[in-house]
Structure 1
């Protein structure tokens, strides 16, 4: 054959013209919630034909083609599809609303914007609030107020049927059982979400869940609801309960207040943890010890204590004591505690416990720092026993066999003890790589086994990828992380979000296995449903019967099924603990893009002034080489009952002569932050965009700064504001700072307070203290907003050649500001926002 004709035939057979695309058997799957501009953005081509397009177009709302790409990676068959491919449009970053077009096939609306995940964590929090037992704010009624009576309490000297108050907490799923293990894990996730991303959460509800502010973020109100119930489940050092109620609760679907009577009147059974197997109908569970549940109690109590210590010291102290007693209970008999079932064969068959012990020991120093070294070593020993959460290496597992689904201990321990970080981060990487081995073989990057609660596993895996990236500063698995997040919101074979009502405009569950929605048509906003299961599992479950034609029939396959049908409890039942984990993940993704509040003044990504509408000022002191004014400044602040903020270099923190000063500043309630380790100059003085450091140099130096701070008990997650050395930076520095989950700040220009470091030998640059002081007064008198929101920058010490020290006039300056009605606050208080 002629070579020319051979090439022509090959070209014709490999090119698929638009007219040949079968629009009735091809679909484009997207994240219905949206994509952030700088994130990975991938849609999935899925077809029951063997056709794969050679390009795709992005169309704006006016019908204009704004982007064309051939960045298409074909993967072949998956599930119900013959051909699949990844359509990557990550390099398109313009915010707006679009759709992908391939021939006559259009995707659902694609939203690109910084705020696509804004308020989603609070939206999911609605489901947690709706799951409350005791007083239920959604129903504005109470339920399960008579709980409960003790079973298996002989070891503690408690007679069976003894009443102990166990009202409260959350219902586990669409029935009304309550498990300590899932409740403790859920509580920890809520506390952790607030600790890591406080700016994400709003305050629109009271502590009881009804409308109205109470000065506490709603996520903390919810976490406290969980903690209060856990305290009831561990009322004394020698008493701890593993579950309230059992599967006899499944006898009927009902609204919570319509309590079923299968126990002692309206009391439901409380199962005591004795470390021994317990009867479940004709079966016995496989309990071997006290560790798994008790250790979860310990970590939740410890984290709760560290968070509530500032707002409720008495409550925090009680939590701290309970954390220690719970850890002691975990050590009574090393091993796992499983749940009890009376009629059905299904239980939470948890089979691992060393991960719980790792987290518990990593958490205890939060309530007692003297245990830091010993607890770190204990935690690391447990980490070595289970470096990789077992399900990550498997294609299947029993229900809740490896729980929690992500090892939180590795993350917490790596922050507690930085010397262990590399080893623990390596453990995360091993697990991710095992999932990636499976995921890279299909277009959805799906490496999560389709077992019961597969969506919970998906959330957990995305968390692990997120933490790995944060700890390692590597983005190797960023696309895999995003793919798992996208899966939850529609980028899956069924094209549906797995979260009830999120997004409000997209395909989401409408007929979940829930009494609220099935009996009363109440929306269960924010509830994460179980998710798809292997078809083989589905076919062997007891009591499943679909109640209507399957909306997703054409997308079911021999691989996996998902049904938006009340009758399918295996794929469409929402869970409380899965939703709590999702709240953390949504908060994390929301926080990836830092949109500075409009009421703040900013320059090149750094906040330079607080609210002009509030008469608040932050006194900020920086320090590197000199500390001669430290004691004088400290005394003035104490005398005037004022708190300030100190941004000090690693060199400053590391000097022996500064130790007592730093300890005193911290003990007096001042804010202590970072100022780089070696006081680097980041960018050129005349060409601001010209960097003088690499990303690695910048981040390594800043990590060393925080490492020096950790010796004083100051951790990165509690000191997120960072003031650059020389007060000189550019947008790239601000972006790198943001990637480390920190916020860059700088002083407010207009006065000459920052010139207090100058000395006469500098010539024209020198500014006397009198000149500086007058500039402050003049600015205050001449501007409509005065000094409102000002970040005043001064130095904690200056060159000996400056004998005219401005800090000697600090008492005078503070008295003037107070007289003028200004409130002097710390930087975190000045920049506090409500979202």
Structure 2
């Protein structure tokens, strides 16, 4: 009886508690943070619940913005507790929702900002951020349509080179470093490298809307390359002779006032500003001396920028490329004069770029040298790897704090550049990246924002760098275990942070972004500084101890400041809200990378290993495709047949084919007649092993460089890169990695449709069993058409524009007969871009 009574009592308690509802969520003290720019459908998608109460929701809804209907409900919520100003935080994961559209998250009465899901959410954002780089130009400034700092500069510390103090050297140009007008070689070289690298890896992300001087108008070169060249030209001036290199133009006397750039006269020599020579010895730091120990850190950065610039500009300007090559060689020699770090100079204050490491710069320099001297790869890669082993992990990754720019650049680019081109070292270098990521992850996994990057000065620059490292590690290793961590750092920059604001001026233009940055452009003239990445939040302890910070208005983010970190959208706070040139350049690379993840093959097309191999099987269309490298003997016959039959075809030709003078008239005729002309690699490389398809025979750099040379040869005969998006690989042999690299360049890999023997028209009797006669090839096409329900619908029928002289039985002589058969059978003969056209 006692047991029964106890049971009834327990039942009564449970019944009563079931009618007690959970306390309502406090809408005034709870927020949902998101990436304000948006998410790509297949990406990790996480919003952050942040509340000053103890409440954590048990579910959330995704609401269609237009219809108001619930389209998704989830309980995928991971609670983390207190962080910064919040008592309760949680991760709201909706990654498995992949439908494009505009939505918002709803929890009780709380709504998130608009959530955009679309493949194109990052389109053109890299070019948007490039606006800030253009606005930072010294010399002629296209934004102001005026010139500034045209008298620079006079030399200091030049005794080792026999240069008297106050000697004039032309140093006009380059970029102002931030909202002040100092110019540093170390940040400029790093920024230049990032811009060059962004174009090399993701050329499709950039448009051509500006001239070389930055004013409106196309000049046949992507705007990012115009900007990179602006940086390179200044670096050349900062290394005018083999024995002369300058580390810095102007100093902290710049900070006398906020002003629009013009000639500055506060340095004691008219309108000239001081040029600080690199002598490898300590130089001024306020009342003391800096900790310069050598010549390596800055000079090595020059080396890598010059080498990559030489490689990229080789097809456009051979003389300029040669000049950069020689500068790379002399800069590397300069880096070896006295091994050690070169720090910047200050005169009045103690604040400098206190760079403390340099072996990472040497690693990248030696990894870059084979770009201008391919035969030196074995030697230079070995030296680069020796430096890699000296600093396996960029030191800030292991720390909670660091001095200003103490470990710069904030990501070790050398590991990536060396690993992707050196199979023997790839696994080890990838492991170095992983070790650094794990150090940050150890801190990040303890909070809902996955924040493991320390809140030191320019924390946003570190955030960009860390996202790059995660991305590169995944590319090198295939390990996707840090995908969510990478995305969290990217999202942080664009609004998924405690303050709920994007850290990029004007991006997105519909969201909360900086409006009052520490910038003379905005403060004095209300000029927008589109695309500028601001410094980002700092530890509150750092903020309280900085000199000269005073907020000018009530703090819009007061509710979200904490004892941990602060961020102020106030021009009076130079520590969190000042945009930086080099941070923006790094962001441009990251935005270009994310923009380039949008390529997908439509379901109606057949694909293999990332290449489209057949169009729509529901449409009676066929694309005749001709490839060519060494031989062109059939060109005139093929052209005549196409004209006689009023048919257009597609031609995929190597750079060698396009470059031969004897082929020029044929190419011009094919182009004039409206045929499609595309790339087939520059030197007809074999990309991967014939037996082990996954075994690559080329590096990413070799692949992309070769393809860019192919496009360069095409441009010389009037075929624009943007007009040739389809790429047919040499030997018609490739793998998924080749397709991925092609996609990164905003091109689509294609290949022939299997089933016939048309692609064997290059064979000749001496090849034995591989030889196929013209009659056999012709019959295979007709037999396939008659034996399949959908026949040759959507076929990419591949032939060759010329063949070895040993083949006397030329299939192109049967082309008139083949075209007549296809027409009679009801097929429409179209170009490849027409065959693969999709509905808009």
The TM-score, its normalising length taken from structure 1, stands at 0.81
2:49 to 38, 45, 49: 45
2:440 to 431, 435, 438: 435
| 1:343 and 2:348 matched | yes
For the residues of structure 2 that align with 1:171 and 1:299, how far apart are their CA atoms? 21
Match of 1:697 in 2: none
Residue in 1 that maps onto 2:637: none
Question: What is the correspondence of 1:353-502 to structure 2 with a 5 Å cutoff?
Answer: 353-502=358-507
The CA deviation at 1:419 is: 1.3
Instruction: Output the CA distance in 1 between the equivalents of 2:470 and 2:729.
Output: 29
Distance 2:285 2:436 in 1: 34
Q: 1:732 to 1:513 in 2, by over 3 A?
A: closer
CA 1:545–1:702 in 2, change beyond 3 Å: closer, same or farther? Answer: same
Aligned residue number for residue 775 of structure 2: 768
For 1:66 and 1:18, how far apart are their aligned partners in 2? 25
Alignment match, 1:266: 271
Residue 684 of structure 2 corresponds to 672
User: In the aligned structure 1, how far is the partner of 2:425 from the partner of 2:89?
Assistant: 42
Aligned to 1:280: 285
* Deviation at residue 745 of structure 1 after TM alignment: 1.2
Cα distance in structure 1, aligned partners of 2:16 and 2:360? 57
Quick check: 2:518–2:570 contact (8 Å CA) kept in 1?
yes
Pairs within 5 Å for 1:281-680: 281-594=286-599, 606=611, 619-620=626-627, 638=660, 640-641=662-663, 670-673=682-685, 676-678=688-690
Runs of 5+ unmatched residues, structure 1:
611-615, 624-632, 646-667, 681-700, 776-786, 814-826
Residues 248, 262 of structure 1: 8 Å contact kept: yes
Offset of residue 751 of structure 1: 11
Counterpart selection for 2:219 from 214, 218, 222: 214
CA contact (8 A) 1:644 1:671 kept: no
Give the distance between the partners of 1:359 and 1:478, measured in 2 at CA. Answer: 26
- Could you tell me how far apart the structure 1 residues matched to 2:407 and 2:48 are? 31
- Does structure 2 conserve the Cα–Cα contact (< 8 Å) formed by 1:673 and 1:721? no
1:30 is matched with which residue: 9, 34, 49? 34
Alpha-carbon distance in 1 for matches of 2:107, 2:702: 58
Instruction: Quote how far apart the aligned CAs of 1:20 are.
Output: 1.0
SS at match of 1:78: coil
| Equivalent position SS for 2:455 | coil
Cα–Cα, structure 1 residues 239 and 503, in superposed 2: closer, same or farther, change >3 Å? Answer: same
CA distance in 2, matches of 1:87, 1:222: 40
Hey, what's the Cα distance between the residues in 1 that align with 2:18 and 2:454? 34
Give 3-state SS (helix, strand or coil) of 1:456's partner: helix
Q: Deviations over 1:759-807 (max 9, x none)?
A: 99999x97539959999xxxxxxxxxxx9x9985449989x9x983548
Give SS of 1:270's match: strand
**Contact 1:290–1:329 at 8 Å: present in 2 too?**
yes
In 2, distance between residues paired with 1:225 and 1:324?
20
Evaluate the alpha carbon distance shift between residue 130 and residue 7 of structure 1 in structure 2; reply closer, same or farther with a 3 A threshold. Answer: farther
TM-score by length of 2: 0.80
Number of aligned pairs? 742
Residues 5, 384 of structure 1: alpha-carbon distance in 2 compared, 3 angstrom cutoff: farther
- Indicate if the aligned counterparts of 1:355 and 1:386 stay in contact, CA closer than 8 A: yes
Cα RMSD (Å) of the superposition? Answer: 4.2
Gaps of 5+ in 2: 616-622, 631-654, 668-679, 711-724, 783-793, 819-831
Query: Contact 1:769–1:806 at 8 Å: present in 2 too?
Result: no
Q: Secondary structure of the residue that 1:46 maps to in structure 2? A: strand
1:742 to 1:774, Cα distance in 2 relative to 1, 3 A? closer
Q: After superposition, what is the alpha-carbon deviation per residue over 1:723-771, rounded to whole angstroms, capped at 9, x for unaligned?
A: 58997999999789859998431248999853527999999x9753995
Distance 1:534 1:567 in 2: 17
Per-residue CA deviations over 1:621-649 (Å, capped at 9, x if unaligned) read 699xxxxxxxxx9999957336999xxxx
**Which residue number in structure 1 is paired with residue 638 of structure 2?**
none
CA contact (8 A) 1:247 1:341 kept: yes
* Residue in structure 2 matched with residue 702 of structure 1 by the alignment: 694
